[in-house]
Structure 1
Amino acid sequence: MVGSVAIEQQRPRLRADASRNRERIVTAAREAFVEHGPDLPLDEIARRAGVGNATLYRHFADRGQLIRTVTLSVMDRVAQRAEATLAEEPDAFEALRRFMHEAADERIGALCTLLSGAFEEDDPELVVAGDHLTVAVQALIDSAHRSGQLRTDVASGDLMVALSQLTRPLPGTACFNTDRFAHRHLQLFLDGLRAPARSQLPGSAVTFEDLRQKS
C-alpha cells in the first residue's frame, strides 16, 4: 500500500520532468535551426538540450516532427508577444518597437523552416497558428498606421522579413555570435519605419500573403 502511494506521488513529478525535457529540446532545436539550419544532426540537438538521444526520440519520432513543433512554438510565442505589447503600450509605435525587439529575442528566424515549404500548406495547426500570428501583427501595424507614426509604404511582411534576416547569423562559421548586433541593427531598421518617410521604397509593401506565395 505504501509502495502504491509512493508511485502515485512520483507520477506528477515524472510528468513535469517530461514536460521540462520537451521544452528544453524545443528551445535547443530553435537555437540550432537558427544558427545552422534544419539539417543539424538530432544528436547535437539532444546534447544542447542536456538530454539523451532516447529522450529526444521519445518526444519526437523524426526531424520533421521536431521542426513542426519548433515552428508552432515560435509562431505562438511571437503572436502572444504582439498581443501583449498592443494591450500594454499606449503609444502605437512604442508597441511596435517593443514587439520587434521581443520577437527578435524569440529567434523568429527559425520560422524560415516554414517559409521554405517544409510542411503541408493545409496542416490545420499551422494554418491556425499562422492566422493567429497574422492577425496579431497586423493589429500592431494598423494601430501604428492610424497614429501616423508608421510610414504608409510598409506592411506586415516587410517587418517579418527584416526580423528573420536580423535574427539569423551571417554565413561562415566565424559569424555565429551575432546576437549582440541584432538589437542594434533592428533599431536602425525601426528608425527607417517612422513617418514621414525620407525616401521612396522600390516595389510595393510586402504582406504575409506575399510571404506565403511560392516563387
Structure 2
Amino acid sequence: MGSATRTANATGASVPRSRADAARNRERILAAAREAFVVHGPEAPLDEIARSAGVGNATVYRHFPDRDALVHGVVLSVTERIAERAREAMEEEESPFEALRRYVRGAAEERIGALCPMISERFDRADPALDAAATRVEDLTRLLLERAQEAGEVRTDIGVGDVTVALSQLTRPLPGVATQGLAPFAERHVRLYLDGLRAPAKSELPGQPATLEDLRQQHCRS
C-alpha cells in the first residue's frame, strides 16, 4: 500500500475519532456544569467545571464560548433528558401510575428545580430550542397524568400544572442548606408526594386543578 493511501486511511479514521472525543468532552462538561450549577448556581466557577470534567479551560470555551452558552446547554440537556425519561416510562411500564411514578422520580433526580430559575433569569422564554424541549416535556407529563387518571390510579382533582409545581419545589435547594446532602430528603418527599397522588383521594383540595397556562399567567404577574 502506498504512503498516500496510508495517509488517507489514517486521516479518514482520525476524523470520526476526533468527533467522538469532542462529543464525549461536551457531555463531560455538561455533566460537570449541571452539578456545579445545582450546588453554586449559574455563577459557578468555570475553572472548577473544567477541572471536574477533566478538560482544560480552552476545551470548555471551544464548546461553549461564554457562560450563558454553557447554562443554555445544561438546561437544554436536562430538559431533553427529562423528556426521554417520560417517554421511556410510558413505553416500558404497564401500570400508568408506575409510569408516572418513574417519571416523577427521574425528573427529581435531574434536580430540575435547581435549574428552573436560570431559565427565567437568563433566557428569553421564546428561545426556540428550549421552547421545543419544554413543550415536549409538558405534553408527555400531561399524557402520563391523564393516563393514570383514566385508569383510576391517580386522583382527578389535579392538573399538569400541579405536577410541574411539585417537581420544581421538591428539587429546589433550601436557602442556607448544603445541596450535597439533600438527595435522601428529596427522595423521601418525592415518595410522600406520589402517595398523595393516589386515588381515591384522602382529602379535598382547595381551588381548581392547575394548568400550565395558570402558571404562565402567574409568572407574567410576578
Shared fold per TM-score greater than 0.5: yes
Distance 1:20 1:175 in 2: 27
Q: Alignment identity in percent? A: 55
Structure 1 residue runs of 5 or longer lacking an equivalent are none
**CA apart distance, 1:16:** 0.7
Q: Which has the larger radius of gyration?
A: 2
Structure 2 residue runs of 5 or longer lacking an equivalent are none
The residue aligned with 1:49 is 53
Distance 1:115 1:56 in 2: 21
Deviations 1:109-150 (A, max 9, x none): 344145534211221112211211111110001111111221
Amino acid at match of 1:105: E
Aligned length: 215
The residue aligned with 1:86 is 90
The residue aligned with 1:169 is 173
Distance 1:165 1:193 in 2: 16
From 120, 124, 141, the equivalent of 2:145 is: 141
**CA apart distance, 1:84:** 1.6
Amino acid at match of 1:62: D
| Equivalence map 1:119-198=2 (5 Å) | 119-172=123-176, 174-198=178-202
The answer as to whether partners of 2:75 and 2:119 remain within 8 angstroms in 1 is no
Distance 1:37 1:169 in 2: 10
The residue aligned with 2:18 is 14
Deviations 1:9-43 (A, max 9, x none): 22211111110010111111112212221121222
Distance 1:44 1:64 in 2: 16
Amino acid at match of 2:194: L
Give the TM-score, by structure 1 length. 0.90
The answer as to whether partners of 1:109 and 1:167 remain within 8 angstroms in 2 is yes
**CA apart distance, 1:105:** 2.1
